[in-house]
Amino acid sequence: MNEANNNPRDVALIGSGYWGKNLARNLYKLSSLKVIVDKSPETLERLLEQYPGIQTSDDFENILSDETIKKVVIATPAIMHYSQAKMALEAGKDVYVEKPLSLEVHQSEELVAIAKEKNAILMAGHILQYHPIVEKIKALIEDDTLGEILHINSNRMSLGKLRSEENVLWSFAPHDISMILSFMPNSPEAVSCSSSNFLQKGIADICQLFIDFGSNKSASITVSWISPFKEHKLTIIGKKGALVFDDTKEWEEKLCYYPQMILEKDEAFTLSKTEESYIKVSQAEPLERECQHFLDSCAKRSRPRTSGEEGLMGIRVLNAAQQSMDKKGDVVAISPPSFFAHPSACIDVGSEIGEGSKIWHFSHIMEGSVIGESCNIGQNVVVSGGVELGRQVKIQNNVSLYTGVECADYVFIGPSVVFTNIKNPRSEINQRSKYIKTFLEKGATVGANATIVCGITLGKYSFVGAGALVCKNVPDFALVVGNPARQVGWVNQAGEKLDLPLKLEGEETLEVKDAKGRYILSKETLKYEELEKKLQNNKASGSLESLSM
């Protein structure tokens, strides 16, 4: 073991297969490898001989309980990355995850959130960002050597290794996506992806990916594991010149520069063939640099270059590309979701979901629906196109909100509530043009199993009792129950019943005060007047009177 390094020996490597063996070699070289976890006794025995002084184990959970292990490096099959990274983070470990960070956007979002909560380092294994030539390309871009970046193309092709747990997009493209995202000044806006599978049903062997960055900037990626030759070539085209990184060539010829290919004069462009030149870059092993960067980030408690957030952006692009592939190349927008959706939920493209909202199991949010901030959509809920929900609306399980339903802020809808949008439905007659609107005003509550007939309004902070059948408008603050629903009282903003009659005769009024204001009953109408607002109105009236004197 190399004792020249000052790295603490506190790393557990999980998995020592195809790529794990390379991580083991570099972590051992950096004097940081303490234990390797693998299920194969033969593999562990061989590793003990190869790396004297290390420990081995076949028990991942036991490693997590070991307080001398501070860092966990995960190099298992991609399908295991999320669960193992989550367990390690929750155990208080700093975590490095070989690409991809996970296979689902919501999983990566959860890992990033746990890392923040635990103040842990989370790093994605995107090795090419630690390649000296990629670092040189970044420096040239930052120095404006290429001018404005217009397009980036990457080809990554070779013969084998076939995988059954992931397709070639997820196996090859993460490296290219990570590089391209680091080069482009814009965030990706949309993706289209086409693919072909020949060797295994449903598992793509070739993929062609196009990424739109907006502002007339784009990138294209081709990946294949059935190519008879190896090609790892990256081309970056700018207004002042181009760079070609060919990783199959000898080191001295890997990075080539083509100056000023695009000439602009009097708003017209011409193209010219220019003489290339090779750019010298000091040679170093990318994986060793990547491993040392992880160790340094943990020691300094600093954000890694390929942080969890950077890995998450790559997963968003991959996820959109997979959706496009499943839709035969349709363009799929990339909008970093600021909401949570359970993996069983179906979120249609074209729906709008506000920041902080949560969509739970088996719910369907349809195209054209609008959900405000901090809403909570329970299990088995359908939100149809045209439905609008304000902020902090809570929909309990087994509710279908049909086109025409509109909810203001802070509305509560209990389990199995039924809404309608047609008063005379017939299966054989299409009445989509006749949908009738239903409005639920701010703070309204609808109890479990109630039915709301379309074309009515539930007033502000009104309260519909469980099982009620509501066929007409409900006044602000009214409490209604029964079949058909009838008013039986008044409630305050907290849903508590007020000691007031249902109505008053003549000009008489009654009021009930609370800490912030008062409820005033006049005839059959209850209004709420906030003290602060009343004071402001009085001050304004006083000011107007003084001006008129």
Please give the Cα distance from 340 to 37 (Å, whole number).
Answer: 33
**What is the full per-residue pLDDT of the chain (549 aa) written as tens digits?**
444 468 899 999 999 888 899 999 999 999 999 999 999 999 899 999 999 999 999 999 999 999 999 999 999 998 999 999 999 999 999 999 999 999 888 899 899 989 988 999 999 999 999 999 999 999 999 899 999 999 999 999 999 777 777 899 999 999 999 999 999 988 888 999 999 999 888 899 999 999 999 888 999 999 999 999 999 999 999 988 899 999 999 999 999 999 877 766 666 667 777 788 999 999 999 999 999 999 999 999 998 999 998 999 999 999 999 999 999 999 998 865 678 888 788 887 678 888 889 999 999 999 889 999 999 999 999 999 999 999 999 999 999 999 999 999 999 999 999 999 999 999 999 998 899 999 999 999 999 999 999 999 999 999 999 999 999 999 999 999 999 999 999 999 999 999 999 999 888 999 999 888 999 999 999 999 987 655 555 554 444 343 333
Tell me: do 198 and 118 sit in the same domain: no
Tell me: do 389 and 453 sit in the same domain: yes
Please give the Cα distance from 411 to 391 (Å, whole number).
Answer: 9
Tell me: do 430 and 383 sit in the same domain: yes
For residue 238, is it within any domain? yes
Tell me: do 115 and 144 sit in the same domain: no
Is the pTM higher than 0.85? Answer: no
For residue 315, is it within any domain? no
Question: What sign has the CA pseudo-torsion 185, 151, 325, 190?
Answer: positive
Tell me: do 193 and 145 sit in the same domain: yes
Tell me: do 178 and 99 sit in the same domain: no
| Residue-range definition of the domain harbouring residue 156 | 129-284
> 3-state DSSP call for residue 180?
helix
Q: Is 195 exposed, middle or buried (0-12, 13-18, 19+ CB in 10 A)?
A: buried
Distances (CA, A) of 26 to 119, 132, 271, 377: 26, 17, 46, 47
Tell me: do 373 and 398 sit in the same domain: yes
For residue 530, is it within any domain? yes
Tell me: do 293 and 264 sit in the same domain: no
For residue 313, is it within any domain? no
- CATH code for the domain in which residue 477 is found: 2.160.10.10
For residue 317, is it within any domain? no
For residue 523, is it within any domain? yes
- CATH code for the domain in which residue 37 is found: 3.40.50.720
Tell me: do 355 and 489 sit in the same domain: yes
- Whether 237 and 151 have beta carbons less than 8 Å apart is answered as yes
> 3-state DSSP call for residue 520?
strand
Structural domains in the chain (count): 4
Tell me: do 498 and 511 sit in the same domain: no
For residue 322, is it within any domain? no
